[in-house]
Each structure stands twice: as structure tokens, then as C-alpha cells.
A and B are shown apart, each in its own frame.
Chain A
Amino acid sequence: MAKRKGKKTQEAGEAVEASGTWAAQEASDYSQPSLVLPNLPKKTRGAPTLSPTLEDDYHVPVGLLPRLDQEKGREKEGVSEEEVGLLPGHDQEKGAVEGVTEEEVGLLSGIDKEKRAEEEGLSEEKADLLPGLTLERESEKDVCEEEVGLLLEQKCAPSLSELDSSSSLSSLEEAEETSERPPLTRGASNPSILGTSRPRQPISALRQLSAAFVSFFVPEKRVARLVEDLSRDRRTAFGALVQDFLSQQREAIKTQCLRSAVELLQGIRLFLSQAKAFLLDCGELEPPIETMVPDDEKDLALEKAMFRCVLKPLKGQIDRTLKELHERDGSSQNMAECLSVARGRTPLDCFGVRVGVPDGAGVEKVRRKLVLMSRAYSPIDKVMLLLQVCKLIYKAMTENSGQEFGADDFLPALSYVLVQCNMPEVMIEVEYMMELLESSYLTGEGGYYLTSVYASLYLIQSKSEAVPSGGLTQEARDSLKDWSWRRSHQAQNQKNHRQHLKCVRVLFKDGEQSWMKTLQWKAGDNVETLTELCAVKFGVDNPQLHKLYWRNEGKLQACLPQAQIQDVLGQGSSRTPLIYQHANQEGFKTYKLTRDEAVDLVE
């Protein structure tokens, strides 16, 4: 294996040299099957063979160098911005920056992390996680190469398979990071007050440096932090959206009006997608996400950020509720029973295992990963732990044979291990991941192994029943169909939604006061509808006297009530605000304007 790798590295190195630029290298990422295209463009590959190699996919440091430089250039801006934020006076940024240093330093220095973990009572898991991750790296030549891999992978479209080598499980790291920045309260004029009320530690140069260093490597963390801060600030449209949803969910959970776990999770998933689209549209995220991560990483970064601001605060409640719901419908008990029945029935024979399986210690290791999985709030992190579990199983399978295994051998081994672990709650975890991960993440490696665990659990459950000749019960088949349909349907809905929900910023002027709000509208809404919405949102007493205006070369012009909003906004840009004010203010404003120009015509 090492040999193979060495060869590959070499080949890939050559490929890079041959192709010269990174762009060319990227283009050759997709090999052209020689059967269709006998004339390969020179820059992509060597002589066509029937079995074209795809080594370009394997990225090596040589290829990294140009890329790194680019990255540096692009990132410089971001970093310096952050440093500016460190200076006193830039209060708004400060909260976020403190977040960076705390979190990222923890990430960098193992000792610091260990200590924090201990404080949180997580030391055991942490200790487990860290060596586990180190193990993961064993095969890598060195850490640097791994980082390289990480960076390079990010230019590909996000898929779980690519997430794998990312060793950071943010949702677990954050467990110790959460010094629970309190949510910014409505109307707090200066968010930094919150910051200063805590004894602030002087930020050392080293910390600054490491923060910059980390945000250089993990720009998506920066996105997550900024989005989280925004989501806590009720004064922003996005913050209000998220906070309203959180309180609505807490209420729903408290009053136990939820009928099923699926309903709960689906509601959350829908909100995640909508809020994500909203965030992109409303322009409240500063700096814009485009400046922080490349286009193809945007969605993943946002997805993770949304998990952080929605799932993290709800984690405890969601867990409890799911547990209750599954106890109520008897599925937890059923699973537990099936597991114990399977354990009593010589599980090796039961699943027809023909390969090596993890021994007692191996099973214990898997168990610990599964426990860790249940602590993560992020479905992406959960899937990564699941992949680590699968890797442990493969390791046991291949230990004595060196053979390569397909599903024929893996599925029985997986089922065996799941039975040995005896953790009925894994069922709930699987459901959590399947319902909360966006469909596009479910087609990759993570999706495959998640599906395998799901299949395994079904198998275990059907074992104890009188198995119908078809194997799966009709009920199981139906629930699968349901799920599959929901997901494809949902994806469709989301697409429609994205097209339909738009934001517009409206500046409300009331005498000398003015304030801005971001409002949502749908395709087909006209100005009249929006005017009505403004009246409600700004709480005006006499809506009939207020109108919407747009700025035309410095002059205010009233919007026609029947005009479509998209026409008013021209290109649909949400950045230039409309103005909502008392109709009589119009003249007043003009008057003021002219007076500024010292042409005192009207009095």
C-alpha cells in the first residue's frame, strides 16, 4: 500500500509538472475515458490507455505550492481585517475575535485542549478522540501533507467522502469552547459591553498569530463564528429569524405537541435550508461569505454554520425529545430487544460472517466512537465518526488477509459489530443524520455507510421477528419509500423556495429617526403588499399615510402600488434600501435637501 502510494505521488508529481499551472491540473481532475477521446489534450495526461489512471486526484505538495500562494494572497485581506478587529474600538468584531483565539488556540495546542476538556468532564472522550485521530493520520506521510490534502480537497464540491480526512470535529471541540457568549439582547447599543463585562485577558501576540494562522487554514470556522454571532443578534433580520425559530422550537418541545421524531427533524431541516438561503440573500453577513471561502465551499461552510447556530443550542432538548418519542412509540424497546435476541443467537452465524471481526477491545473502541457520536450536534461530525467506526471494522477484516472487501463481507461484519456494541440508541443517531443532512451530502461515502448502518439495523430488527419471505416488513418498506420521497421532494421544494423568497432592505424614516429592516418578499408580490408589511413591521399608527420610495439619482420617488417589487429593485439587488416614510415627509425632505444647498426657495 505504501508502495502504491509512493508511486502515485511520483506520478502525480509528474502530472503537475507537466501541466504547469494549477488550473490545468484541476481540469485534468476528470479523466477522459480513452475510449471516447483518443486525442487527449496534451496538458491533461500522457498516452491514453484503456485504463486511464486518475492520479491527478491525488494531490501532492508539489501541486500545493502555487495553490498555497494564491490562497495566501486571497486570505491576507481576511486576516488583516481580523487583526483590525483586535484593536480596541472595533467593538463589533471583538466578540468574534475572542471566539477565534479561544477556540483556535484550543485547536492548536493539545495541552490547552486537554485541560479544557477536563474542566468539561470530557477528558475521557477527548483522550479517545485525539489518539483516534492520530491513528487516522498514521498512513499519512506527515501532518503537513494532511493539511495539504485538506486544503486541496476544499476546492472540490463538498461531499462527505472528502470530509473524511478533516480531523477536526468542530461540534465536539466547541463543547469546550462554549464559554457561552450570551445572546446579544435586543436593542443593546453596543455589543462590546458584554465583552468588557468579563475580565478580558490580554491577547498575546502568539494568540493573535495562531488565530490568524488557523483562520488561514480553516476559513469555514470563521464563517461559522460570524454566522453564529449574527444569529444571536436579534436586531438583525437573520438573528430575529433564528431566535424566533429557536424559541418556537423550545415551546413546541416543551408542550409536547410533536407527533413524531421525523416531524421534529424535518421541521428543523426545512428551517436550516430556508435560513441558509435567507442569510445569503439578506446581505447581513459581513464580510460577505464570498470573500471568506471559495464558491464551491460556500454551501458546506454555511451548512456547518447553520448547524452551529440552530442545532447546538437545541441539542439537549432535541436529544431528550427524540428519546421520549421513540420510547413512546416502542421503537427503542423493540430495538433493544432485537439486539439482545441477536446476541443470544451466535451472531457470527446469524449474519454469515466469513471474515475477521473486531475482538472485544475492538468492539469497545467502536462503542466509544458511537458514544462520542451521540455527543456531537453536527450531523456532519456524526457521519465522520461513523466513517471512523467503519474503518475500524475494515481494519479488523483485512488484518489477516490483505484482501479487498465489498459489501458481501462488510455488511455482515458491520451487523455483527453493531450487535456486539448493544447500543439501541444508534437507531436514533442514524435517523438524526438521515433527516438533517442535506440530500446532496447523502450520495457520497458518508451516505453509503450511513445507509449500510441503517440497513444493518433493519436486518437486526427483522431477525427477531418472524421474517416475512421478502425479508423487510411492509412497514419498513413503506417507511423507506416515505423517506426517499420526502428527501427528493424536499430538495425540489428547497429549490423553489430559493427562487421565491427574497429580501429587501427598507429604511424607515420617522421624523429625525430612522432605522433599517430586512424584509422578505416573494416573486409576484407588489409594492402594495410590501407597504402593508412595512406598516406592520415598523408599527406605524396610520399606515394609509405612509408610502414606499426609491432613490432615483438622489431624489426620492414614490413606488407605484401596483408595481412588482422585482421591477422596483431593478436587478433584484437587496443592497440598496427602499425608504418607507410618511407621505408628507417627502416635501419636507426635499426642502431640507435644498436648504443644505443653501437655496432657500420654500419656507
Chain B
Amino acid sequence: MASGGGAGGSNKTYSFKVVLLGEGCVGKTSLVLRYCENKFNDKHITTLQASFLTKKLNITGKRVNLAIWDTAGQERFHALGPIYYRDSNGAILVYDITDEDSFQKVKNWVKELRKMLGNEICLCIVGNKIDLEKERHVSVEEAEGYAESVGAKHYHTSAKLNKGIEELFLDLCKRMMETAQAEERAKGNGVSQSTSSRRGVQIVDDEPQAATVAGGCCSSG
């Protein structure tokens, strides 16, 4: 029910939104298609299209609904990022190991995400196309070191060979569940200030919202 990390009732179902970021041509679409292929949901109008995909998982008895939001990676669409990644529980930042530039783009995204969404979004940095190891231009050490320095996890994948993808998503789900559980606990202790604080946006409520229902105090004969 709840949009982000939410779960209700005793029979818990987590719903997570994961946004997919990365330059065009790094293979984000193939990555997510690989993960969701054979599993695409027939109810979707777009069926095989990879812009929006969902996946249902059962992780240690907990149900997880994953919604994967693809974004356009071309430079000209960069500014639209916030429209897509708001309210995300996780982000998958993909670069091409043969393309130094695409790794630089990932760094930019990380900076922006941390700035806009704070520390509660789970970040995955993914070096894709490990089938082209010979042409590697981004060193493993550099990439993993960077990921660690920004509190992200690093993964090596190949959409072509279907390597590392299942692990990536599973790991991300577990981390998002942990984050959601921690948030719930904090809420239970009255520590956290609702989701608004985690979105890192503070705006003063201009009008008492209940005003609109003033006349609706119930029965009038």
C-alpha cells in the first residue's frame, strides 16, 4: 500500500521503487530486461518494453514488490532525473567498464542523489559488460574504492552473459528491506520524523489542510 518501503499488517508486503540511471548505451535496458525476462507481467500494456518493469519476490518469507523505473540516459535528459528518482528506495547506477566517461557520469549521479535524497536511498554502482574484460577502461579497484567511499555497493555484471544480475537485485532488495525495517523501528520509537525528512526536503505547510473539510464535521440534520 504505502508507496515507499511501506508495509502494512502482519502479512508484510514491501513495495520498493528502484530507479535505473546511467548514460545511454551502458546497457541499463538490457540489464533490467535480463532480470525481468520471462517474468514480465502480462497485465502491462507495454509487455516487453523495458521502461517500467515490475518483479515480485519472496525473500525469507517476506513479499517484495519491485517497481523498476528506467530513465533516459542521454545528456539532454539529465535534468529530468529528479522527476523520476523522487521517492525511490533504491537506485542502480550503471556504467560500461569499457567507457571511462560513463563511470564519470555515475559519479555525478551519486553526488546528486546524495544531495537530493540523503543517505537512506540504497545505491548500487554497477559495472556492466564484464564480458568485454579485455577492453576494460575502469579499473576494478578504482570503482570498488569509489563505491565504498560513498556508501554504495559495487557489482560486476554482464547482461549479455546474464552474470551478476540476480545477485545485484537480490542484494539491493535485502538492503532496502533493512532500511525500511530500520525506519519502522525508528518510527516506533518516535525518533524519525516521517518520510518527509528522509526526502531531504523541508517546506513549510502554507495552509492548514483540514480547512477544506471544515463544513464536513459530520451530520447536519
Chain A residues at the B interface, C-beta cutoff of 8 Å? 1, 5, 8, 29-33, 35-37, 50-51, 53-55, 57-58, 149, 153, 157, 161-162, 164-165, 186, 234, 237, 240-241, 244-245, 248, 263, 266-268, 270-271, 274-275, 299, 351-352, 387-388, 390-391, 394, 404-408, 410-412, 439-440, 442-445, 448-449, 451-452, 454-455, 458-459, 462, 470-472, 477, 480-482, 484-485, 487-493, 503, 517-520, 537-539
Evaluate contact between B203 and A485: CB separation under 8 angstroms. Answer: yes
Partner of B212 from the list A267, A410, A481 (CB cut-off 8 Å) is A267
Could you list 25 A-B pairs, sorted by A, with CB under 8 Å? A31-B58, A32-B58, A37-B60, A55-B39, A149-B42, A244-B216, A266-B212, A270-B209, A394-B45, A394-B46, A404-B33, A406-B70, A408-B70, A412-B74, A440-B2, A445-B45, A445-B54, A448-B52, A448-B67, A454-B83, A471-B80, A472-B80, A482-B203, A491-B3, A517-B221
Evaluate contact between B201 and A481: CB separation under 8 angstroms. Answer: yes
Evaluate contact between A387 and B170: CB separation under 8 angstroms. Answer: no
> For B15, B74, B205, which residue has the most chain A Cβ atoms within 10 angstroms?
B74
A54-B55, A165-B43 known; A408 and B83 CB under 8 Å?
no
Query: Would you give the shortest CB distance from B137 to chain A, in whole angstroms?
Result: 21
Evaluate contact between A412 and B44: CB separation under 8 angstroms. Answer: no
Partner of B67 from the list A351, A444, A454 (CB cut-off 8 Å) is A444
Evaluate contact between A29 and B56: CB separation under 8 angstroms. Answer: yes
Evaluate contact between A157 and B201: CB separation under 8 angstroms. Answer: no
A36-B60, A352-B76 known; A162 and B195 CB under 8 Å?
no
Query: Would you give the shortest CB distance from B58 to chain A, in whole angstroms?
Result: 4
Contacts beyond the supplied A31-B58, A408-B74: 19 A-B pairs with Cβ under 8 Å:
A30-B58, A31-B57, A32-B58, A33-B57, A50-B162, A54-B39, A234-B220, A245-B213, A391-B45, A408-B28, A440-B3, A451-B84, A470-B79, A480-B82, A480-B86, A481-B201, A484-B87, A485-B203, A517-B221
Complex alpha-carbon distance, A485 and B198, angstroms: 10
Contacts of B77 in A (CB 8 A): 411, 455, 459, 471
Is B132 interfacial (CB-CB < 8 Å)? no
- For the complex of A and B, 7 pairs with smallest distance between CB atoms: A471-B79, A406-B29, A267-B212, A54-B39, A30-B58, A407-B70, A448-B52
Name B28-84 residues within 8 Å CB distance of A. 28-29, 32-33, 38-39, 41-52, 54-60, 63-64, 67, 69-74, 76-80, 82-84
Partner of A237 from the list B29, B69, B78, B218 (CB cut-off 8 Å) is B218
Query: Would you give the shortest CB distance from A6 to chain B, in whole angstroms?
Result: 13
Evaluate contact between B56 and A57: CB separation under 8 angstroms. Answer: yes
Evaluate contact between A244 and B215: CB separation under 8 angstroms. Answer: yes
Contacts of B170 in A (CB 8 A): 33, 35-36
User: What class of interface size applies to chain B in its complex with A?
Assistant: 35 or more
Evaluate contact between A30 and B64: CB separation under 8 angstroms. Answer: yes
Partner of B43 from the list A1, A53, A164, A244 (CB cut-off 8 Å) is A164
Evaluate contact between B196 and A240: CB separation under 8 angstroms. Answer: no
Q: Is the interface of A mostly helix, strand, loop or mixed?
A: helix
Contacts of A388 in B (CB 8 A): 45
A30-B64, A445-B45, A477-B82 known; A240 and B218 CB under 8 Å?
yes
Contacts of B201 in A (CB 8 A): 481, 484-485
Query: Would you give the shortest CB distance from B91 to chain A, in whole angstroms?
Result: 14
Complex alpha-carbon distance, A477 and B49, angstroms: 28
Evaluate contact between A404 and B29: CB separation under 8 angstroms. Answer: yes
Partner of B196 from the list A164, A241, A244, A488 (CB cut-off 8 Å) is A488
Complex alpha-carbon distance, A374 and B199, angstroms: 32
Name B147-172 residues within 8 Å CB distance of A. 162, 166-167, 170
Is B139 interfacial (CB-CB < 8 Å)? no
- Chain B, residues 12-32, CB within 8 Å of chain A (1/0): the string is 010101000000100011001
